Structure 1
Amino acid sequence: MSEPDGEHVGPYRLLSTLGSGGFGEVHLALDPEGRTVAVKLLHPHVAADAQALTRLEREVETMRLVEGPYVAEVLDASLAGDRPYLVTRYVQGRPLSVVPVPVADLRRLARGLAQALLAMHEAGVVHRDLKPANVMMADGDPVVIDFGIASALDSLSVTASGAVIGTPGYLAPEVLEGHEAGAPADVFSFAATLAYAATGRQPYGTGPLSAVAYRVVHHEADLEGVPAWLEPLLGDCLLQDPEARPTAAQICAVLAADAPARGRHGVTGAGTARRRSALGQDQEAALLEASSGRGAGRGGFFWVGRRSGTGPAHPGEPDVHGLSTREWRPGRDGHVRTVEESRALHREKVRRRWVIGSGVFAALLAAAARTPLPEVSLFLLASYALVVVADAAVALLSRGLFKVRRMVTDLTSVAGVAVLWLALSALFSPFTLALFAGTALVVGVVFLLNA
């Protein structure tokens, strides 16, 4: 199934393989506008299952409604032909399953996962396979990947072909017993994942899959070591009865409240795993605020919006092949840069780095030559200033997108080099400055060669 670098799948150019799972192989790729995305190529035995593909095709449009900073949004899909694939936002990070545990900022992880759960359930999507391996940690924030795929591909032929639908220890007991996986099953998986992140242990132990599944159905999770503010909530989420578990909105309300999570009878600590949670007054107010669509941000609630203009051309016929990708900008509804704007911004960044870097090097050389060769010192400064001022003049006459920024950078650099030249001359000897300049030159050459 692996594709060599540079291959194209539809309009996407594959760059490198990121990993492989039960349903497909994930590649880092570029979309037609040069943005990085993750392309999941379905395994041959999955692609050969017409029933599974039909079900997935029906679910794609719903999956595209899931948006937010804590989910890897589905951007595109093509389920026809020999190589069906899904395209999602590329998340640069590491899975929760391989980062050091217990997680340091557990509150941040819990709130992010809860909001991801709320985003999925508000859109009518059940993840079905939420576990540490499907939670990417990106700069300390969790991002849930692969939502809806396990649920859509849950068919006997796919399972018989080798794909494992879910992971015992994170699957809810009703799913292990053969019942349908709904939103409460995701709540169970959410709690099991957080228990692992809080303790570094599998919540239902290790061993053969059948033994782990038996513990899930007949025993309570191992929550020893879970912080007191979180243990009651996890106990409520891990209840055997799906109807007794809190909803994603209730979980968000509990975690958003400043007070520690409380069980149904206000009991904290062990023994709360069989008690259903009840919200306090402050938590109920927070929940009402969430349900009214107010509040946004990483530390609280966000409202899951619906994109206008989506949907099939004809009722009952999902149109997933003509979907276009777009730049994903969490928490913003502002202007999306065009390709030309993105290229201009990149050129401006490169130019600014050269201006600043060459200015520092010129100041070092000029300061080193100030005492033994004052004429050379002034010549270096004047040459740098002349080139940069000329560049500022070109920016003034141009119609570039960033001409004001370019002029400010140029003029500030000239003044900064003069100040740096005076400071270095006063603080260091010419010999020391010459060593600095030589070192900077070597580092610059090595950097260019590596680049």
Structure 2
Amino acid sequence: MSEPDGEHLGPYRLLSPLGSGGFGEVHLALDPEGRTVAVKVLHPHVAAEASALTRLEREVETMRLVEGPHVAEVLDASMSGDSPYLVTRYVQGRALSVVPVPVDDLRRLARGLAQALMSIHEAGVVHRDLKPANVMMADGEPVVIDFGIASALDSLSVTASGAVVGTPGYLAPEVLEGQEAGAPADVFSFAATLAYAATGRQPYGTGPLSAVAYRVVHHEPDLEGAPAWLEPLLRDCLVRDPAARPTAAQVCARLGVDAPARGRHGVRGLSGTARRPAPSAMGVPGSAGHEQGGYLSTEAGPGAVFSTGRRAGLEPPDLHDLSTREWRPGVAAVDEARARHREKIRRRWVVGSGIFVALLAAAARTPLPEASLLLLASYSLIVVVDAGIALLSRGLFRSRRMVTDLSSVAGVVALWLVLSTLFSPFTLALFAGTALVVGVVFLLNA
């Protein structure tokens, strides 16, 4: 395997850094087929720990069992050479911690997070550091980016360099008290994250970490402002007794969502040097591979670190029949992503061209009324035809496309009337010219 030369790391072409943490640096990269991925290159002081790398190599087989539309799957790993690395699906979006809160579509967020949690637990892994910073919002859908790697790094002496085990306010009380972090701890973190998204406030307040941790253990969460349909679920998930919390499957059932779909992103495997674990680590009680799991953080920010995580206390899947295979991304997921992107571009064109047509038609209403009506009629005809095509098609966004088209026609006519009433033709002509220049500059920059 070739070492990083500023351009490539193994078969991956590194494009730009996304963030750095206590254990590695995350890069945006291209795989051999030209698809974007996130590559985390371990820091030299981490790579020097041979025993930790061996354990991490063993855990990758379990990490790649976690898959679904709401998790950033581990795709590849290589623990050899001077620059060991792990590869995950790249999620383009912003962290929940930096988007405006309360979020608009709270049900969509809750259902997506519940499905992600169930996907993680079904693979026998516990996230242990689920929080808003570890939830990426991609086109309104949540994607969890942190799971699967910590046990291999538990023995590292570098934990003093800034690696964070978890975040008070989102860690369960039993974890803060030094007990084992199981699947119920993730359910607690899920509810705390969702409470933040619903209310716009930290559920256990702010201040010194010790004060926040004390409130988690001894006080009730602040859920004022949470919607009535969600508050009972949040309270059940935030109870202090881990045994009293619902499971991820029960949370999904209460939110009315199905079990997460598996295999949506195609057949995944290890194309690097990570090997299939030895039988002693494949779910045999008492082995390191059975007791703990870990996960990779691809959080694009200075705080992106490897964080401690453990498996869910469930019976781990049988890994004996797994073979090491080259990863081939799923065609269905790629097609859906492309369709979503095309729909976004089309919507922007419909709205943008509608505003420009309204400006031109309003400017021409007094001196050239026939031209004004012709502009409106031409735009309306084109958009209505597009809506008719959407009605006859079986696309993923048929309903949304029709609503956008018909709303644009009504909006353009209304804007035409308002503008032609309030402004003179000369002023409107200046507006139209300015809009044209801005549009051209935007296209050139794009």
TM-score of Structure 1 vs Structure 2, range by shorter chain? 0.5 to 0.7
- Judged with a 3 Å threshold, the aligned counterparts in structure 2 of structure 1 residues 226 and 159 are, in CA distance, closer, same or farther, namely same
C-alpha distance in 2, partners of 1:335/1:138? 16
Partner residue in 2 for 1:94: 94
After the TM superposition, which residues 355-374 of structure 1 pair with which residues of structure 2 at under 5 Å, given as runs?
none
C-alpha distance in 2, partners of 1:314/1:210? 39
Amino acid at match of 2:55: R
Partner residue in 2 for 1:276: none
Amino acid at match of 2:41: L
- Judged with a 3 Å threshold, the aligned counterparts in structure 2 of structure 1 residues 45 and 214 are, in CA distance, closer, same or farther, namely farther
How far did 1:162 drift?
A: 2.2
Partner residue in 2 for 1:296: none
How far did 1:213 drift?
A: 1.5
Amino acid at match of 2:60: V
After the TM superposition, which residues 360-399 of structure 1 pair with which residues of structure 2 at under 5 Å, given as runs?
none
Partner residue in 1 for 2:278: 315
C-alpha distance in 1, partners of 2:258/2:80? 40
C-alpha distance in 1, partners of 2:237/2:434? 58
Partner residue in 2 for 1:71: 71
Give deviations 1:365-423, integer Å, cap 9, x for gaps: xxxxxxxxxxxxxxxxxxxxxxxxxxxxxxxxxxxxxxxxxxxxxxxxxxxxxxxxxxx
Residue segments in structure 2 that go unaligned for 5+ positions in a row:
283-318, 343-429
Secondary structure of the corresponding residue to residue 147 of structure 1: strand
Secondary structure of the corresponding residue to residue 37 of structure 2: strand
Would the aligned equivalents of 1:13 and 1:30 in 2 still touch at CA under 8 Å?
yes
Would the aligned equivalents of 1:76 and 1:323 in 2 still touch at CA under 8 Å?
no
Of 224-233 and 51-60, more deviation after overlay is shown by: 51-60
The reply on whether 1:148 has 2:106 as its aligned counterpart is: no
Secondary structure of the corresponding residue to residue 187 of structure 2: helix
Would the aligned equivalents of 1:123 and 1:304 in 2 still touch at CA under 8 Å?
no
Partner residue in 2 for 1:301: 259
How far did 1:443 drift?
A: 8.5
The reply on whether 1:174 has 2:137 as its aligned counterpart is: no
Secondary structure of the corresponding residue to residue 25 of structure 1: strand
Between the two proteins, the alignment pairs up a number of residues equal to 313
C-alpha distance in 2, partners of 1:115/1:42? 29
Of 94-103 and 315-324, more deviation after overlay is shown by: 315-324
Partner residue in 2 for 1:408: none
C-alpha distance in 2, partners of 1:51/1:211? 37
Partner residue in 2 for 1:17: 17
C-alpha distance in 2, partners of 1:218/1:64? 37
Would the aligned equivalents of 2:64 and 2:268 in 1 still touch at CA under 8 Å?
no
Amino acid at match of 1:96: L
After the TM superposition, which residues 195-344 of structure 1 pair with which residues of structure 2 at under 5 Å, given as runs?
195-256=195-256, 300-304=258-262, 312=275, 315-316=278-279, 324-328=326-330, 332=332
Partner residue in 2 for 1:107: 107
How far did 1:251 drift?
A: 0.1
How far did 1:223 drift?
A: 1.2
Give deviations 1:239-290, integer Å, cap 9, x for gaps: 111111100000000001xxxxxxxxxxxxxxxxxxxxxxxxxxxxxxxxxx
- Judged with a 3 Å threshold, the aligned counterparts in structure 2 of structure 1 residues 309 and 449 are, in CA distance, closer, same or farther, namely closer
Partner residue in 1 for 2:138: 138
After the TM superposition, which residues 53-72 of structure 1 pair with which residues of structure 2 at under 5 Å, given as runs?
53-72=53-72
TM-score, normalisation: structure 2: 0.61
Of 148-157 and 10-19, more deviation after overlay is shown by: 148-157
Would the aligned equivalents of 2:69 and 2:261 in 1 still touch at CA under 8 Å?
no
C-alpha distance in 2, partners of 1:308/1:12? 18
- Judged with a 3 Å threshold, the aligned counterparts in structure 2 of structure 1 residues 321 and 446 are, in CA distance, closer, same or farther, namely farther
C-alpha distance in 2, partners of 1:335/1:91? 16
C-alpha distance in 2, partners of 1:149/1:114? 21
Secondary structure of the corresponding residue to residue 102 of structure 2: coil
Secondary structure of the corresponding residue to residue 193 of structure 2: helix
Would the aligned equivalents of 2:171 and 2:189 in 1 still touch at CA under 8 Å?
yes
The reply on whether 1:159 has 2:122 as its aligned counterpart is: no
Would the aligned equivalents of 1:150 and 1:165 in 2 still touch at CA under 8 Å?
no
C-alpha distance in 2, partners of 1:310/1:448? 39
The structure number with the bigger radius of gyration is 1
Secondary structure of the corresponding residue to residue 224 of structure 1: coil
How far did 1:146 drift?
A: 1.8
C-alpha distance in 1, partners of 2:246/2:161? 35
Secondary structure of the corresponding residue to residue 157 of structure 2: helix
- Judged with a 3 Å threshold, the aligned counterparts in structure 2 of structure 1 residues 92 and 153 are, in CA distance, closer, same or farther, namely same
* Aligned-pair identity (%): 80
- Judged with a 3 Å threshold, the aligned counterparts in structure 2 of structure 1 residues 322 and 447 are, in CA distance, closer, same or farther, namely farther
How far did 1:450 drift?
A: 4.1
Would the aligned equivalents of 2:131 and 2:170 in 1 still touch at CA under 8 Å?
yes
Secondary structure of the corresponding residue to residue 61 of structure 2: helix
The reply on whether 1:52 has 2:52 as its aligned counterpart is: yes
Amino acid at match of 2:259: F
Partner residue in 2 for 1:83: 83
Of 13-22 and 320-329, more deviation after overlay is shown by: 320-329
Give deviations 1:91-125, integer Å, cap 9, x for gaps: 11000000000111111000000000000101111
- Judged with a 3 Å threshold, the aligned counterparts in structure 2 of structure 1 residues 173 and 154 are, in CA distance, closer, same or farther, namely farther
Partner residue in 2 for 1:428: none
Amino acid at match of 2:328: R
C-alpha distance in 2, partners of 1:176/1:149? 20
Amino acid at match of 1:245: R
Would the aligned equivalents of 2:118 and 2:259 in 1 still touch at CA under 8 Å?
no
